[in-house]
């Protein structure tokens, strides 16, 4: 083992990972709750499963599909917004304390939480706190009542605010979506809305608003029993370079939520570089890693390892600096990005390879519904949120006519279950592999250089136990000899294609090989 220790130390030094080698010898993190490190499944309820044949996915549909999700191996669900809203996507909320009627009732949601918990599945909901709908009661009162107590819940074009936030980006009548100040009929003042006229931004300098937001969060945790929130647009709570105010707000929010549940799970969306993301970890323990999403795609697309592992390890050290108990939320794509299958032009082996890389990296993996089928989707947003293809008309949603994920392009779940070589079975095998391995679930990661840019290789280490992961990124089979320090990895723990363990190992194209020691 001396050779292995020396090799380990050299890798450690090369990657500048920490001041202490013991951090990478598998020492347990401060809190280890398996579901937080397990696979979370993102659901757009409208497109998932229809329980009453009205063409629209609903909460009862999710309940009916809990056995499928449990069998797949996911340990938590993230539901995109479920509150009342005038839009199809529901990111402009009119009532933070209710369920949209097309999705069901609050009783349905309570039942979903209860039934999911019975199966060991946690529930998170999308919490949209940057803005409300322009049809929210607060905003309507602010616009129509000169003495409204809600006026200061929003941001108006006072000279001071214009100085801080700027004038309209454009005055063009055909580019209203690029404006930031918007008119109200019969009112002289304009309101600030960063994303769209129908999403007026909230004013977090108002302390009364903050108290209302705390009440909303505590309602869902205390009264309904959910396990956590996905925090939308987390870097836009305060605008115009008020990053420190953003960081401090989320610390305050976390502290308030922990008063009713010390273990509440918060995962934040800050679509930016790791350097911008990292400070938010002081308040939001889990943050989506958009750098890694891009790096995984580029690595697979280019069929060579360039900076993926370097980027990953550099990010982890940065995150650890801000919060030693951080959770690195890794993913391929989400509801705002072209689906990974479309980005990879439908290449089935590369689609499987993307899953293999995601589910063997360190972190907390997120899967977007339908990724396990290889569903397609490209912008506009409606087309990356198309109906899940069950292969059973009883559950099929039809609210939108699919353009990309159609029956002639994607095999349904029913068809893929019958095909042992399907994308679905590949995802299921990898998820269960991870679930059944503490090393893959909790382990730290160290890069391994096999002197071949077509091979992505790394160690996963936990409590002194180690796995060696090797991905062939290339369309060609690759040959390699393990360095002397790694000769102890002789046994195949997992491989999605046949590999013979000889002195010179041949790994087929787009194959993942996981080796364990004697």
> For residue 191, what is the enclosing H or E element?
strand 187-192
Q: Are 163 and 117 in contact (CB under 8 A)?
A: no
Integer Cα distance of 67 and 50 in angstroms: 15
DSSP letter string over 452-501? -TTEEEEEEEETTEEEEEEEE-SSS-EEE---GGGTTEEEEEEESS----
Asked whether the beta carbons of 125 and 220 are under 8 A apart, the reply is: yes
Residues designated catalytic: 232, 269
- For residues 466 and 25, what is the distance between their CA atoms, to the nearest angstrom? 9
How far apart (Å, rounded) are the C-alpha atoms in residues 237 and 247? 10
3-state helix, strand, coil in the chain (%, to 5): 40, 15, 45
CB burial readout 288-323, b (16+ within 10 A) else e: bbbbbbebbbebbeebbbeebbebbbbbbebbbebb
Q: Determine if the peptide bond prior to 380 is cis (ω within 30°).
A: yes
- 């390892």: which residue's tokens? 305
Q: Look up residue 123 and give its two tokens.
A: 């529930």
User: CA 166, CA 33: separation in Å to the nearest integer?
Assistant: 45
For residue 235, what are its two tokens?
Answer: 């870097």
Q: Could you tell me how far CA 288 lies from the centroid of its own chain?
A: 6
DSSP 8-state code for residue 202 = B
16, 317 contact by CB (below 8 A): yes
Tell me which long-range contacts 428-433 makes (C-beta under 8 A, separation of at least 24). Answer: 428/71, 428/72, 428/73, 428/372, 429/494, 429/496, 430/355, 430/356, 430/359, 430/360, 431/39, 431/72, 431/73, 431/74, 431/359, 432/73, 433/359, 433/494, 433/514
Q: What is the CA radius of gyration of the chain?
A: 24
Residue 181's DSSP bridge partners are 192
């Amino acid at each position: 083992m001396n050779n292995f220790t020396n090799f380990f130390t050299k890798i450690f030094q090369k990657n500048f990972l920490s001041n202490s080698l013991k951090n990478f010898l598998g020492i347990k993190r401060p809190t280890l709750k398996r579901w937080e490190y397990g696979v979370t499944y993102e659901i757009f309820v409208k497109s998932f499963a229809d329980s009453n044949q009205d063409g629209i996915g609903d909460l009862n549909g999710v309940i009916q599909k809990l056995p499928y999700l449990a069998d797949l191996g996911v340990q938590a669900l993230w539901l995109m917004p479920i509150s009342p809203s005038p839009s199809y996507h529901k990111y402009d909320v009119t009532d933070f304390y209710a369920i949209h009627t097309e999705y069901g009732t609050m009783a349905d949601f309570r039942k979903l939480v209860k039934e999911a918990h019975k199966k060991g599945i946690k529930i998170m909901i999308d919490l949209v706190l940057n803005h409300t709908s322009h049809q929210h009661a607060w905003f309507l009162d602010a616009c129509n009542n000169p003495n409204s107590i809600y006026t200061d819940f929003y941001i108006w074009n006072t000279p001071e605010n214009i100085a801080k936030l700027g004038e309209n980006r454009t005055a063009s009548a055909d580019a209203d979506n690029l404006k930031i100040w918007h008119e109200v009929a019969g009112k002289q003042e304009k309101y600030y809305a960063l994303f769209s006229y129908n999403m007026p931004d909230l004013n977090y300098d108002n302390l009364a608003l903050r108290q209302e937001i705390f009440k909303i969060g505590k309602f869902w945790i205390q009264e309904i029993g959910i396990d956590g929130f996905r925090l939308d647009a987390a870097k836009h709570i305060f605008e115009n370079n008020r990053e420190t105010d953003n960081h401090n707000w989320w610390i305050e929010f976390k502290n308030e939520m922990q008063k009713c549940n010390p273990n509440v799970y918060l995962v934040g969306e800050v679509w930016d570089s790791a350097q911008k993301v990292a400070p938010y970890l002081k308040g939001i323990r889990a943050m989506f890693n958009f750098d890694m999403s891009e790096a995984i795609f580029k690595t697979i697309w280019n069929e060579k390892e360039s900076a993926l592992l370097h980027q990953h390890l550099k990010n982890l050290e940065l995150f650890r600096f801000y919060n030693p108990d951080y959770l690195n939320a890794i993913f391929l794509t989400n509801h705002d990005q072209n689906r990974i299958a479309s980005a990879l032009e439908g290449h089935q082996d590369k689609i499987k390879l993307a899953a293999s890389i995601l589910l063997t990296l360190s972190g907390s993996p997120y899967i977007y519904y339908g990724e396990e089928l290889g569903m397609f989707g490209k912008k506009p947003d409606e087309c990356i949120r198309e109906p899940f293809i069950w292969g059973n008309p009883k559950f099929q949603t039809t609210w939108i006519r699919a353009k990309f994920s159609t029956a002639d392009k994607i095999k349904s779940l029913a068809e893929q279950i019958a095909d042992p070589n399907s994308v679905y079975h590949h995802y299921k095998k990898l998820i269960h592999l991870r679930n059944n391995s503490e090393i893959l679930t909790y382990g730290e990661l160290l890069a391994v250089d096999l002197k071949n840019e077509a091979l992505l290789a790394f160690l996963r280490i936990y409590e002194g136990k180690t796995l060696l992961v090797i991905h062939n990124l290339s369309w060609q089979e690759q040959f390699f000899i393990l360095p002397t320090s790694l000769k102890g990895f002789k046994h195949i723990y997992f491989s999605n294609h046949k590999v013979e363990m000889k002195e010179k190992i041949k790994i087929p194209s787009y194959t993942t090989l996981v080796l364990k020691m004697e």
